[in-house]
Amino acid sequence: MLLLLFALAQGPGIELKPGMVITQSVVIEPKTYKLSGPPIRIRGDNITVDFRGAVLEGIGPDVEPDQATDTAIVIEGGRTIRIEDARIRGYKIAILARGTRGLELVNNDLSDNWKPRLFSLFEHESLVDWLSFHHNENREWLRFGAGMYLEDVKHGLVRDNTIEHGMNGLLLVRSDSLMIRDNNFSFNSGLGIGLYRSSDDSIIHNRLDYNVRGYSQGRYTRGQDSADLLLYEQSSRNVVLFNSMTHGGDGIFLWAGQTTMDSGKGGANDNLFYGNDVSYSTANGVEITFSRNKVIANKAWGGEYGVWGGYSYETEISGNDFQGNRTGIAIEHGQDNTIVGNRFDHDSTAISLWADSLAPSDWGYPRYHDTGSRDYRIGRNVFIGNTTTLNVRSTTGLDTTITPPAPSGEVSRLIKDSVPSTELSLAPRSSIIVDEWGPYDWRTPRLWYVGRDSTDFSRSRLVVLGPHGDRWRLLAERGVAHLSHTEGFTGDTIVVSADNRADWSVTLVSRGTRFWYIRFAPPIEWRVNFFTWTDSTNYFERLLGDSLHGEPVRRIDYVWYRPPPRLSALPLRNWSLRATGTVTLPGGTYSLRTISDDAVRAWVDGKLVIDNWTPHESQVDYAPLSSGKHDLRIEYRQVDGWVELRVDIIRGSSRSTGSPGPH
């Protein structure tokens, strides 16, 4: 039953109950409330809810975070509503507001809410982890969870809030004229801030760092469409000033939207990005596409691309500081753009401009626009130690007649004085560590696998991560023959020689905190046969030749767009495989897990236990598995596009399916 509250703010604190409706200003009794089910609802005008540090807890800290399903607080319309000093954790969405005018969210900590399990590994990514924010006309973004989700909110203030260790910090949908400043939305696995059809907002002096996934130092740098700041679908006239947006999938990711792609009209236009630090992104410091914007006086160091500006037009890129990127500025199919007064310091390529001969056939945009690469004004830039200064292909109307000035450090001084930087935001890109639950924040100790020992492939290397200078010692080990170290300091590398390469663990302790690494990969000698097919009634029509059928393999783990050299005889489409093997498991509870794109079936002891045979993008499937000896059979078929097939046996009965698709 709904409880209507009319207590005044100056009265004694009230206690929260599930489904409570608040209609006037109240002060909350500061305690921990374990609330599930119906949310707290706020209705009316001129309401302040002062939580005084009260904690709302959905699922507990020992429950996997992808199990959260509830919303903590729903604000239903109204005017001049303020939420302050709340601590909310363990929910799918912490605060959801719809149709409110004059909303203020101040000094709340909405960390440790919903986030999906990630399936990318140290060695390679998984396609399951790719995100798609392209559609939200039917509230599709709700599936991703958020600390704050504001829909149709007009005017207001979001200030001094913290949202970490979830998937998304703040999501804005058709929400305009908000002041968003001095917040910390970092270490999330999706977005720090995301805008959809949201315009005229001011995003100033926030820490939006390490909102990232899809990265493994020295192995792959994908980002998987995570970003510190995302602006999609006609989000225009926003002002983005003096933010720290480092170590993201992208620092800033702007896309005109499906409306523009289909009709050729509109765009995410006339946004100003000024004085931000977008360094050390896994992909692009700034990605701006199919739109008209200004990118001025930003710092973009150590990424793949400082600015990626595909199909940008009438865009100004000026006074920025690019250093150590693969490419400083890259623009395909751009028109009437200005690139002036930038500094390019030891980027492999400073500026790259080009056009391809054919645009994708499923885009409406090229039917309504000239998409040639033309009419650039380039000058007064400083080039220092770049391998290539200007790489131009299929581009006309290039004006490069302005003489460059002497080098300047003005942008670096501006960033240093104005952006809320931290030691971690200034650290190199190698500081990005992403585990199965998202980016690591370096505050607590962690034992991190960094591959096999180069001198002895049977040995594994683990690095002790954590606060600089902290001591650690060995607490326990299982299935280990020898450790290179049993005590030391953070930053140490431990070489592990295991008695049982399939099942071992190491547990350390530092400052009273236990942390560990567990290896469990029961041995299976898989015999794999590959087939091609032309008849959809027989996907195992023709066995491929001997070049694909060598010794048994220990692991089925494939992900590629084009097959690797050892499987180069495979076609790009219309092939299948059948793998058989035997496993023996000790006492306990286990699961057979497959990740597949396009289709998979699995049998255990002759019984079909996974049947996902309709072509699909990457999906995760499970089947229970008991202890003892089992005969396994896996069948997979590839139609076209990307290939992904991974087969694991894991302990327990977890059924995490990863990030909601499409991918």
Last residue of a domain, one of 490, 518, 546: 518
pLDDT on residue 11: 59
Confirm whether 570 is domain-assigned.
yes
Average pLDDT over residues 232-236: 99
- Are 72 and 56 within 8 A, CB to CB? yes
Identify whether the C-beta of residue 405 lies closer than 8 Å to the C-beta of residue 380: yes
Burial category of 629 from C-beta neighbours within 10 Å (exposed 0-12, middle 13-18, buried 19 and up): exposed
Q: In what helix (H) or strand (E) does residue 416 lie, and over which residues does it extend?
A: helix 410-418
The band of 409, judged by pLDDT with boundaries at 50, 70 and 90, is low
Share above pLDDT 70 across residues of the chain, in percent, rounded to a whole number? 97
Is the same domain home to 468 and 571? no
- Looking at the predicted structure, is the pLDDT value of residue 406 above 60? no
User: DSSP labels for 189-253?
Assistant: SSEEEEEES--S-EEES-B------SEETTTEE--TT-EEEEEESS--S-EEES-B--SSSEEEE
- CA–CA distances in Å: residue 258 to residues 172, 394, 602: 17, 27, 38
Output b/e per residue, 92-114; b: 16+ Cβ within 10 A: bbbbbbbebbbbbbbbbbbbbbb
38-61 residues labelled b (16+ CB within 10 A) or e (exposed): ebbbbbbeebbbbbeebbbbbbee
509 and 593 belong to one structural domain: no
- Taking phi over 0 as left and psi of -120 to 50 as alpha, with beta for the rest, 315 belongs to beta
Q: Which two tokens stand for residue 249?
A: 């999938």
Inform me whether the pLDDT recorded for 1 exceeds 50: no
pLDDT of residue 79 exceeding 90: yes
Query: Domain with 598 in it: what CATH number?
Result: 2.60.120.380
Is the pLDDT at 227 greater than 80, yes or no?
yes
Structural domain of 570: 525-651
Residue from 415, 402, 260, 281 nearest 338 by CA: 402
541, 595: one domain: yes
Residue pair 114/169 in contact (Cβ under 8 Å)? The answer is: no
Cα distance between residue 649 and residue 555, in whole Å: 11
The pLDDT of residue 8: 43
Q: Are residues 530 and 510 in the same domain?
A: no
pLDDT tens, position by position, 326-337: 999 999 999 999
Distances (CA, A) of 447 to 110, 205, 491: 27, 33, 10
pLDDT at 407 (0 to 100): 45
Q: What is the CATH number of the domain that holds 481?
A: 2.60.40.350
Residues 478 and 514 in one domain: yes
**How far apart are alpha carbons 436 and 179 in whole angstroms?**
34
Average pLDDT for residues 68-72, to the nearest whole number?
99
Q: What is the arithmetic mean of pLDDT over 452-467?
A: 90
Confidence of residue 6 (pLDDT cuts 50, 70, 90): very low
Task: Summarize pLDDT for 534-554 with one digit per residue, the tens.
Answer: 988 899 989 987 657 778 999
Measured between alpha carbons, how far is 178 from 101 in angstroms, rounded to an integer? 10
Residue 402 corresponds to which amino acid? I
Domain co-membership, 532 together with 645: yes
Q: Is residue 88 domain-resident?
A: no
Residues 554 and 634 both lie in one domain: yes
Name the residue among 105, 96, 102 with its Cα closest to residue 51.
105
Classified as helix, coil or strand, 645 is strand
Number of domains in the chain: 2
Cα–Cα distance, 565 to 185 (Å, whole number): 43
Measured between alpha carbons, how far is 125 from 618 in angstroms, rounded to an integer? Answer: 12
Torsion of CA 38, 39, 40, 41, to 10 degrees: -100
Question: Residue 563 pLDDT more than 70?
Answer: yes
Q: Which of 502, 518, 534 is the last residue of a domain?
A: 518
Q: In percent, how much of the chain has pLDDT > 90? A: 89
Q: For residues 82 and 77, what is the distance between their CA atoms, to the nearest angstrom?
A: 12
Cβ-proximal residues to 361 (8 Å cutoff; 6+ apart), any chain? none
- Cα gap 377→419, rounded to integer Å: 29
490 and 582 fall within a common domain: no
Higher pLDDT, 551 or 110: 110
Q: Is the dihedral of CA 200, 201, 203, 204 positive or negative?
A: positive
pTM: 0.96
Statement to judge: residues 535 and 494 lie in one domain: no
Rounded mean pLDDT of the chain?
Answer: 95
Is 300:269 a contact under the CB 8 Å cutoff? no
> Is residue 382 within 8 Å of residue 344, measured between CB atoms?
yes
Mean pLDDT (whole number) for 389-412: 79
> Does residue 111 surpass a pLDDT of 60?
yes
